[in-house]
Structure 1
Amino acid sequence: MKTFFEALEQLYKKVLLGATLENDSHDYVFYLNPAFSDQDCSTITSSECSDAPDVQDKQDPSSVSLSTFSVAPVCLQRHSLMSSTREIMLLQLTVIKVMITRILSVETEFHAKEKYRDIIKILLKSSDIESQLTCMFQNSEKLLSHMAAKCLALILYFQLKEKITLSNSWISFCQKNISEYSESNKVVYCLWILTFVIKEIFKDTSSQKTEILKQFLTPFDTLFEVFYNSLFSQHFENHQDASKLINSLICFLELLELLIASRIYLKLHFTCQRILFLKPSCVLDVITWPIQAFVKRKLIIFIKKCLLCKVGEDLCRGSVPAFMPPDNPLDVDLLALASAVLQAVNLGLLRTLSVCGKRSCFGGGEVLAGYERAPGPDHVILRALSLLIIRSLEIKFQNCASANEMKVDYQRFMSELLTFLKPHLQPCLQSHNLCEWLSRVFIEQDDDMLEAAKASLGIYLKLTRECEATESLTQEKEMWNHHTHENGYNPHCIFLFLLKNIGFDSTVLLDFLISSETCFLEYFVRYLKLLQKDWDNFFTICNYFDVTASKDNIHICCISSLIQGRKSSATEASPLVVVGSHTDAHSWVSWASAASSEPLNHGITLEKAHTKLQANCLSTPGASQSLVDYDSSDDSEEGSTSLCLVNSRLTSSHQEAMKKTQDTFGASGDKKELGPESQSRPLVTEESNTLFSVYCDIAPNNPNNTASEVGISHRTVKCFEELQGAIYRLQKKNLFPYNPTALLKLLKHIETIYNKSMTPS
């Protein structure tokens, strides 16, 4: 005869397949009640088991109907020899979980779904299953506790979907355990279940999700604030077992994120959704605790997502409205959070925060013996902190009217940030253009980089408007430009560094425009509008980029010629060393060593390194030819192919230096010098006075000289032209995801402005 466990196993297989159940629902409920296997199992005597009738004992197990199992309980004692009570309970919980999942699935056949729904409803009425499941939370068996929590979460969600009143026992249990922080596992399970249910509500495709969530949160609204105060008032160092506090902290942060997301996307208004904004210092203080780095990282990223209004974006993807209406209370709360962040920075948060500790690894925190990890900072924290400060400044300035106050604040906080970042950026950030910090910090994270660029642009535009209103911008233009460069937020520099990092590849910009994962479209449109009005400043900065690049490259060649044994040449080249670079000779020696991929030890001379460097310059595939192609070709597709000197979005420092060398010295003569004969000659003559003449030849005072034609301004406009052509081709084939007409007009206007500026007057 079939045993209790075998009957339950057969039921599990049928539910797993979504099969329709034939028997009476009460028969199935008997086998799903966890109380039976937990309590009644011990009451079955061996005599009851032996006296049980041997019904259909000879039938094949696969053909036995579950209706015959009414006699099976008396034989449960016999089955205990084969399967423990724990295994039966785990199987019961699994069947309940799979059955509810089948009810919620749109793929389940209607009649089967109705049968499953009827079984679960009878189970809820016939027993206080919520209380039984909460009792399992304290079970020493971790798997059983987890399965009980997951099963209870699904039951609660099922009740919400079916508009069944939630059990008072569950609400009381949850209210009791989250009324204040304790080290009990019950707290973690309560937080986990609440989070799980809210996630399921977010995934719901019905229009009733707002009402469902409102019903679920109402009993706990005021309790969350009490728990928030209790949890964040803990003293980490006073806990002997800090792991329980960390577990509670991480679970509650995830719950907080969902609560804030429900405010943004579902337009709910509960007190619990504003806890973070009303008391942000509580969370910010945790960053200063002597706590593991991954917890600090999670906190910083959480606050960053709140300031960017990106909380819960993974759950809400595909259902987020295209246009978010203004939310004045949310704006007030964001300002409070931004002010708290800036206040923490002002009190020395960056000076006390260390990011050079042990970094986390994929798959664990330990490194196998024999595999050493390169030392360095946690770049995730560096990026998140940087964006946190920039975004906080943008929010604060949106509500600030004084231009002088904004300039002072920005200078103070950017000084703090740059001081914090500089030791962690290798190679070191050059002092002659601090705007490079943004692309250097965010080079591995496109979405954060564009968010930071957009925030920086917003700050610039706000300051510009306020300064123009007081007529101080036109009167002190030079000081204004110096301020933007000194504090690393000049929009033209930031955009040019972005283009340099992607190798002026228009296909990358196209990818950004098409993708919904970044804010590039919003940032790009705002920047193009600025570029139309501020073209002269943009062109001046482009020339500055060209001159800086040429100075750096001339300095490399000067160092090489100094080591070649010409004493007189060394004496003459010394002034160029001072003028041509902001770094000393030793830094360029190490750069040449890195470019040659060979260590410059005592056995290798700098002359050999320079020879290797020149060989690398000349052997770059299509390097010289690309200058001719993109300067002469009218076909945007061919121009795109020849212009793209790198295949990756992110250009290494070696490749970028090679490109600077090609642009500078390849542009000093006419196009004929780029033929095969000229390629066999050295790029630069050996005499220092000739080097100086090359520098003089590329001075950008005259907008019509050849250097400007192949300089960074030309490459930028050429990239825009290719992007314009690619967008137009996609639009003709109805492949572009939105109407790009306004964007195309902006790009065309930039092209017109450039052509006018390059036309001799």
Structure 2
Amino acid sequence: MEASYQVLEQLYKEVLLEATLENDSQEYAFHLNLSFSAQDLSTSNFLKWPSVHHGDQANSVNVDTFPTPTASINLKMNFQVNNPRDIMLLQLTVIKMMITKILSTKMEFSIKEKYSDIIEILLKPYELESKLISTFHGSDKLLSHMAAKCLASILYLQLREKAIINKTWTAFCLKTLSDYPESNAISYCLWTLTAVIKEILKATCLQKTEILKQFLTSFDSPFEVFYYSVFSQYFENCQDSLLNPRITNFLICFLEFLEILIASRIYLKLHFTCQRIFYLNISCALDIITWPIHSLVKKKFIILIKRCLLHKVGEDALKTSFSTSVIQDPYLDMDMLALGNAFLQAVNLGWLKQLTISRKPSHFGGSEVQPGNKSLLVPDLIMLRASSLVLLKSLEIKAHNCTSAIEIKVELQKFMSELLAVLKHHLPSSLKLNHHCEWLSKIFIEQDDDMLEAAKASLGIYQKLTRAWNEAAKGTTQEKETWDHQTHENGLNPHCIFLFLLKNIDFDATVLLDFLISSETCFLEYFVRYLKLLQVERNHFLKVCKFFDVAELRDDMHISSTFTSYIEKRHSNEAPHQPHFCGTNYALLPLTSDPTSSGTNIEQRDNQTMKSKQPNLLICTDNTSSLGAFQRLVDYDSSEESEEESVEEECLSSIKQTPLNHQANMKIRETVNMTEEKNQNILDFNARLLDPKKSSTLSSLGCEATLNNTASQTVISSKTLKCLKELEEAISRLQRRHLFPYNPSALLKLLKHTEMINKTVNLL
């Protein structure tokens, strides 16, 4: 055994250094032959391993003919010479390395040919694939995983070099799929299938479509039967499913295999049943959220549906994105409609209400909330984000395939009210919605790509239904106002959504520029579509801006009332008065504060609002400039005629990003760390502004008059148009210096049209 280990150690070093192998291929194959089965490794039979091979025996190797290593190799593992498990792990490692070298295009032909001869000997006389498969039935997970990696490499090597499918492995897979759930090797079967398809998709050879077609032909029909058997209520009767790692591992492997199958369909334009079954028969799979299984499996399942609807299946695994030119599938639109309708039908039956949202933080590494620290008990927004986006995309698909405006309007109101009710139930008080359209920015604030996908989907729904509704209503003003009100109630008003997006980035044009330059989001497509809508709905946009201004003033008045109560409490030690609220009709002003909250919640919200709204309060009271909410991410104020900066430095500065949360923390620290004297000055100033002795309480009439005066100022519209103007100037500057990554001419034309809104504002 010790002599064989020395030979393998030396062989490992030579393969690692891509050195020429001097000995005969038969000799190397003998030492790489797996001499033990899984049963041998799990019992005391490993003691029968021969320690010395004599040269006069058949098929033996004289160890003395191999050069003795001059130095030991750092294998980063503590191998024990008398342990056959470690010997087998080293054998699998060397085999996997050889196959990797064969597949490499940088290897010398002579060395690659030597490796191929050794692998060929291992496959034919020694039946390597059968021995690798036998390890799947053992209890050693590391050994089984290494064997699966070797087997996947061998299968792909045979497909690429000889265009043949290993019959031994095919028979094993067909039997394993048909024997489910009794088979205990199903996870390794699926993992190997996934790995092979992934390698085919990553390959640069031109015939990979034919290779995959040949590969999937044998598994098409058996996989359909297997698919239905997985979702046949098998796990509902297994109460230990949540704690059973074997079931969790199997379901994860199954979902990953489904994803790579769908990715191969989109990328290579194949239409096997196994590639379409997830679209056409999703109904039986949606019950997975009620199973007693690990939450990770449920998340992967919902995310898989989301990726299917967004055409992003397999992007993480393949490290690439599918362009629109690649997505040319005559059945894809029909399958997407079937998937969306099935999901909406499930939601109609209460699917969203069955979601289990964890109240623990979803930190990497599985951090647990410490006892007594209830502040960290926030909902896991991954499930809510993915489910909300799937619902929006399903509604968008249905809206574009529906001709009746009344029917889709009823469906939209039903499903969006269901979604908003679920969000209201799960969201904590810190994410409470004061406006139905605010839900999108609240739950997607930490996921830019999904947020913009959701915004684009909501915009698509709005545009489709607006056209249909205008045609049905024949353009009457009353019907238009009714439809506008319903878009607010359903949380899908595109102008509100865009304004909330700008408020979240503090109207910073450089953040929008970063979105336009980046290829990680669909912001360009969404932004172009919204700018086109803005040209048509200028008056509607200005009306929404006025509503935002009114709501902003209401918040400031609420803060001022809180300051007054705080002063009275400090000087008279009396209980603070309840803040006054202005009565406002929701139909006229969608953004409203909730006066029904408890006193404790009001105080907590007041404290948070005092910190976040102080700059706005200063603007409203003394007309001074506010503190900068965020530092500019990119400085475009430098003179264009300056010759001191090189083009390269300008390019680098134009794409440099500073994390927004860091800037937000700077703002919070600036506000919170104000000295007691400055705090007292602000409190005294607001006390004079709202002196109870001089102005008693705010009457509803006076409040409405103040709101109307503020609404005429259109502060939000000014900020928005200024932001768009700065964005236009930045893009123009980059275009003139040939630093913009694509031709922005059409985008610049749309941005120039926003100047017409300024003229409309001046006429109001």
TM range (shorter): 0.7 to 0.9
Residues 545 and 81 from structure 1, CA distance in 2 versus in 1: closer, same or farther, beyond 3 angstroms? Answer: closer
Could you tell me which residue of structure 2 aligns to residue 608 of structure 1?
Answer: none
Q: Take 1:2 and 1:582, find their aligned partners in 2: how far apart are those partners?
A: 78
Q: Contact 2:34 / 2:131 at 8 angstroms: preserved in 1?
A: yes
Q: Contact 2:55 / 2:62 at 8 angstroms: preserved in 1?
A: no
Aligned partner letter, 2:752:
K
Does 2:302 align with 1:300? yes
SS in 2 for 1:6: helix
Does 2:665 align with 1:648? no
Could you tell me which residue of structure 2 aligns to residue 413 of structure 1?
Answer: 415
Does 2:534 align with 1:554? no
1:152-200 Cα offsets, whole Å, 9 max, x none, are 1111011111125222221111100012422433111111110111111
Q: Take 2:53 and 2:615, find their aligned partners in 1: how far apart are those partners?
A: 93
Higher mean alpha-carbon deviation, 22-31 vs 329-338, is at: 22-31
Does 2:744 align with 1:728? no
Q: Take 2:181 and 2:576, find their aligned partners in 1: how far apart are those partners?
A: 75
Does 2:170 align with 1:171? yes
Q: How does 1:596-611 map to 2 (within 5 A)?
A: none
Deviation at 1:88, TM superposition (A): 2.1
Q: Take 1:259 and 1:746, find their aligned partners in 2: how far apart are those partners?
A: 40
Deviation at 1:689, TM superposition (A): 7.7
Does 2:498 align with 1:495? yes
Q: Contact 2:99 / 2:153 at 8 angstroms: preserved in 1?
A: yes
Could you tell me which residue of structure 1 aligns to residue 716 of structure 2?
Answer: 712
2:253 corresponds, among 225, 230, 251, to 251
2:705 corresponds, among 696, 714, 722, to 696
Q: Take 1:538 and 1:650, find their aligned partners in 2: how far apart are those partners?
A: 32
Could you tell me which residue of structure 1 aligns to residue 13 of structure 2?
Answer: 13
1:56-115 Cα offsets, whole Å, 9 max, x none, are 969972389xxxxxxxxxxxxxxx994232222221111100111111223333432232
1:471-515 Cα offsets, whole Å, 9 max, x none, are 344341211111111111000000000100111111111111111
Q: Take 2:80 and 2:460, find their aligned partners in 1: how far apart are those partners?
A: 72
Could you tell me which residue of structure 2 aligns to residue 737 of structure 1?
Answer: 741
Deviation at 1:420, TM superposition (A): 0.4
Higher mean alpha-carbon deviation, 80-89 vs 442-451, is at: 80-89
TM-score (norm. length: structure 1): 0.82
Q: Contact 1:359 / 1:378 at 8 angstroms: preserved in 2?
A: yes
Q: Contact 1:503 / 1:650 at 8 angstroms: preserved in 2?
A: no
1:330-387 Cα offsets, whole Å, 9 max, x none, are 1111111111111111111122323145555422365577877721221111111111
1:426-482 Cα offsets, whole Å, 9 max, x none, are 437777631111111111111111111111000000001111222344341211111
Q: How does 1:60-99 map to 2 (within 5 A)?
A: 61-62=68-69, 82-99=81-98
Could you tell me which residue of structure 1 aligns to residue 280 of structure 2?
Answer: 278
Residues 576 and 196 from structure 1, CA distance in 2 versus in 1: closer, same or farther, beyond 3 angstroms? Answer: closer
Does 2:209 align with 1:206? no
Q: Take 1:451 and 1:16, find their aligned partners in 2: how far apart are those partners?
A: 46
2:689 corresponds, among 651, 672, 684, to 684
Q: Take 1:46 and 1:246, find their aligned partners in 2: how far apart are those partners?
A: 41
Q: Contact 2:288 / 2:298 at 8 angstroms: preserved in 1?
A: yes
Deviation at 1:397, TM superposition (A): 1.1
Aligned partner letter, 1:433:
H
1:540-592 Cα offsets, whole Å, 9 max, x none, are 1101100111022113323443565699xx99998755569542583543323
Q: How does 1:407-556 map to 2 (within 5 A)?
A: 407-427=409-429, 433-475=435-477, 476-556=479-559
Could you tell me which residue of structure 2 aligns to residue 378 of structure 1?
Answer: 380
Could you tell me which residue of structure 2 aligns to residue 673 of structure 1?
Answer: none
Higher mean alpha-carbon deviation, 194-203 vs 521-530, is at: 194-203
- Structure 1: unaligned runs, 5 residues or longer: 65-79, 598-611, 660-676
Residues 366 and 694 from structure 1, CA distance in 2 versus in 1: closer, same or farther, beyond 3 angstroms? Answer: closer
Q: How does 1:353-368 map to 2 (within 5 A)?
A: 353-358=355-360, 360-364=362-366, 366=368
Q: Contact 1:493 / 1:541 at 8 angstroms: preserved in 2?
A: yes
Residues 171 and 718 from structure 1, CA distance in 2 versus in 1: closer, same or farther, beyond 3 angstroms? Answer: same
Aligned partner letter, 1:527:
Y
Identity of aligned residues (%): 52
Q: Take 2:49 and 2:483, find their aligned partners in 1: how far apart are those partners?
A: 88
Residues 251 and 36 from structure 1, CA distance in 2 versus in 1: closer, same or farther, beyond 3 angstroms? Answer: closer
Could you tell me which residue of structure 1 aligns to residue 158 of structure 2?
Answer: 159
Could you tell me which residue of structure 2 aligns to residue 75 of structure 1?
Answer: none
Residues 619 and 330 from structure 1, CA distance in 2 versus in 1: closer, same or farther, beyond 3 angstroms? Answer: closer
Could you tell me which residue of structure 1 aligns to residue 349 of structure 2?
Answer: 347
Q: Take 1:574 and 1:56, find their aligned partners in 2: how far apart are those partners?
A: 90
Aligned partner letter, 1:402:
S
Q: Contact 2:177 / 2:222 at 8 angstroms: preserved in 1?
A: yes
- RMSD of Structure 2 on Structure 1 (CA): 4.2
Deviation at 1:681, TM superposition (A): 5.2
1:583 corresponds, among 592, 595, 598, to 595
1:388 corresponds, among 387, 390, 397, to 390
Q: Take 1:15 and 1:571, find their aligned partners in 2: how far apart are those partners?
A: 79
Q: Take 1:746 and 1:438, find their aligned partners in 2: how far apart are those partners?
A: 25
Could you tell me which residue of structure 2 aligns to residue 749 of structure 1?
Answer: 753
Aligned partner letter, 1:293:
S
1:404-424 Cα offsets, whole Å, 9 max, x none, are 011100000111111100123
Residues 371 and 27 from structure 1, CA distance in 2 versus in 1: closer, same or farther, beyond 3 angstroms? Answer: farther
Aligned partner letter, 1:748:
K
Paired residues in the alignment total: 696
Aligned partner letter, 2:606:
A
Q: Contact 2:129 / 2:168 at 8 angstroms: preserved in 1?
A: yes
Residues 128 and 617 from structure 1, CA distance in 2 versus in 1: closer, same or farther, beyond 3 angstroms? Answer: same
Q: Take 2:454 and 2:261, find their aligned partners in 1: how far apart are those partners?
A: 25
Residues 651 and 377 from structure 1, CA distance in 2 versus in 1: closer, same or farther, beyond 3 angstroms? Answer: farther
Q: Contact 1:96 / 1:151 at 8 angstroms: preserved in 2?
A: yes
Could you tell me which residue of structure 1 aligns to residue 75 of structure 2?
Answer: none
Aligned partner letter, 1:34:
L
Residues 377 and 23 from structure 1, CA distance in 2 versus in 1: closer, same or farther, beyond 3 angstroms? Answer: same
Residues 500 and 251 from structure 1, CA distance in 2 versus in 1: closer, same or farther, beyond 3 angstroms? Answer: same
Could you tell me which residue of structure 2 aligns to residue 184 of structure 1?
Answer: 183
Residues 429 and 613 from structure 1, CA distance in 2 versus in 1: closer, same or farther, beyond 3 angstroms? Answer: closer
Deviation at 1:291, TM superposition (A): 2.5
TM-score (norm. length: structure 2): 0.81
SS in 1 for 2:719: helix
Residues 361 and 411 from structure 1, CA distance in 2 versus in 1: closer, same or farther, beyond 3 angstroms? Answer: same
Residues 650 and 208 from structure 1, CA distance in 2 versus in 1: closer, same or farther, beyond 3 angstroms? Answer: farther
Q: Take 1:678 and 1:22, find their aligned partners in 2: how far apart are those partners?
A: 85
Residues 94 and 696 from structure 1, CA distance in 2 versus in 1: closer, same or farther, beyond 3 angstroms? Answer: same
1:582-618 Cα offsets, whole Å, 9 max, x none, are 4258354332333567xxxxxxxxxxxxxx9869966
Residues 10 and 576 from structure 1, CA distance in 2 versus in 1: closer, same or farther, beyond 3 angstroms? Answer: closer
1:518-539 Cα offsets, whole Å, 9 max, x none, are 1111110000000001000000
Aligned partner letter, 2:724:
F
Residues 30 and 723 from structure 1, CA distance in 2 versus in 1: closer, same or farther, beyond 3 angstroms? Answer: same
Aligned partner letter, 1:437:
W
Q: Take 1:226 and 1:268, find their aligned partners in 2: how far apart are those partners?
A: 20
- Structure 2: unaligned runs, 5 residues or longer: 72-78, 585-591, 640-652, 672-680
Q: Contact 1:288 / 1:349 at 8 angstroms: preserved in 2?
A: no
Residues 352 and 574 from structure 1, CA distance in 2 versus in 1: closer, same or farther, beyond 3 angstroms? Answer: closer
